[in-house]
């Protein structure tokens, strides 16, 4: 575990240095179209994932990429870690994220969010802000973008009871486009609220798209059902691998982590 601690420490230092590097490299894209900034973001994502494998021995397996349709789309992903907030964008032409408004105030990084036309939300503003966010998201998706959204609203620990928000259902109904569910087990390898990074195989599984036209209630039932079933399967497989590597599952990512 000492080796894992040191590797995790080294990775986290290099991760933020790498982020700073790409932020500086991308400065010229402020004067270019949005696609230029998104290309820089993809390079950042891929280099961070590569670094994670080299330093922390976290391999990544992507399943079902052939199921990703072209054009406007809602991507509803399980959210266990910071990892998927940057890793998923590499598979979409015009990714769109919803983020805390305060992130726009970070020098350079926040300007990228503005230039790439991401959606900031003031969580303290209550229902009015949520309605404005849903309206804006619908407009952007209908223009051809792919909204990557985490239906639970925040990172949830491995094995935590799921709580899917209704906001994603409202966006789905308003947009009238397909929804692509995504399951993963990232929380086993990049747990929230710790800098530890545990070795193993992080799996992202793209599930069958849900067609447009479902009611809000039916949509929430179906999207939560398929994501949770697949996520539970991936987590169980990841735990078996960790048990082989460590002789037991690390306590940080055990049940109710």
Higher pLDDT, 217 or 252: 217
* 67 pLDDT above the threshold of 60: yes
More confident residue, 107 or 118: 118
Tell me if 68 is assigned to some domain. Answer: yes
Q: Which domain holds residue 151?
A: 59-253
Model pLDDT, residue 109: 84
In a domain, 169, yes or no: yes
Distance CA 147, CA 92 (A): 9
Element spanning 184, H or E? strand 179-184
Which of these ranges, 21-25, 104-108, 121-125, has the smallest mean pLDDT?
A: 121-125
Whether residue 31 lies inside any domain: the answer is: no
- In whole angstroms, what is the distance from residue 249 CA to residue 243 CA? 5
What per-residue confidence (pLDDT) applies to 79?
Answer: 96
| Average pLDDT of the segment spanning 223-251 | 91
In a domain, 239, yes or no: yes
pLDDT reading at 89 higher than 70? yes
- Whether residue 51 is contained in a domain is answered as no
pLDDT tier at 106 (50, 70, 90 boundaries)?
confident
Question: 144 in a domain, yes or no?
Answer: yes
Alpha-helical (H) ranges within 26-162 are 34-56, 83-87, 109-115, 127-142
Q: Output the pLDDT for position 39.
A: 94
Query: CB within 8 A of 124, min separation 6: which ones?
Result: none
Q: 42 in helix, strand or coil? A: helix
Any domain includes 172:
yes
Model pLDDT, residue 166:
85
> By CB neighbour count within 10 A (0-12 exposed, 13-18 middle, 19+ buried), where does 177 fall?
buried
Q: Is 213 left (phi over 0), alpha (psi -120 to 50) or beta?
A: left
Q: Classify residue 3: in a domain, yes or no.
A: no
pLDDT over 80 (residue 127): no
Helix or strand holding residue 106 (H, E): none
Tally of structural domains, the chain: 1
What is the arithmetic mean of pLDDT over 81-91?
Answer: 96
Return the SS3 of 121: strand
Average pLDDT score over residue span 190-213: 96
Under the banding of pLDDT at 50, 70 and 90, the label for residue 255 is very low
pLDDT band with cut points at 50, 70 and 90 for residue 126: low
**pLDDT at 256 exceeding the cut of 60:** no
In the chain, pLDDT over 70 holds for what percent of residues?
A: 94
- Number of CB atoms found within 10 A of residue 25's CB: 12
Would you state the pLDDT for residue 19?
94
How confident is the prediction for the chain on average, in pLDDT? 91
For residue 154, the 8-state DSSP code is: S
* pLDDT value of position 252: 62
């Amino acid at each position: 575990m000492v080796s894992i601690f040191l590797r995790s420490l080294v990775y986290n230092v290099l991760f933020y240095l790498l982020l700073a590097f790409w932020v500086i490299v991308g400065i010229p894209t402020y004067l270019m179209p949005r696609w230029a900034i998104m290309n820089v973001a993809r390079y950042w994502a891929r280099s961070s994932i590569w670094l994670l494998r080299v330093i922390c021995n976290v391999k990544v397996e992507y399943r079902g990429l052939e199921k990703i349709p072209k054009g406007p789309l809602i991507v509803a992903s399980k959210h266990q870690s910071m990892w998927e907030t940057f890793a998923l964008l590499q598979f979409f032409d015009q990714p769109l994220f919803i983020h805390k408004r305060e992130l726009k105030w970070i020098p350079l990084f926040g300007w990228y969010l503005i230039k790439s036309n991401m959606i900031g939300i003031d969580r303290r503003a209550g229902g009015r802000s949520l309605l404005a966010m849903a309206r804006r998201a619908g407009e952007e998706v209908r223009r051809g973008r792919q909204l990557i959204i985490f239906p639970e609203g925040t990172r949830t620990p491995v094995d935590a009871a799921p709580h899917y928000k209704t906001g994603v259902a409202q966006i789905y109904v308003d947009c009238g486009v397909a929804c692509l569910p995504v399951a993963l087990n990232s929380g086993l390898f990049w747990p929230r609220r710790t800098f530890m990074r545990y070795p193993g195989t992080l799996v992202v599984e793209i599930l069958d798209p849900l067609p447009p036209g479902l009611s809000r209630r039916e949509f929430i039932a179906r999207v939560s059902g398929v994501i949770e079933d697949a996520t539970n399967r991936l987590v169980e497989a990841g735990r078996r691998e960790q048990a082989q590597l460590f002789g037991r599952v690390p306590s940080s990512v055990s049940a109710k982590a």
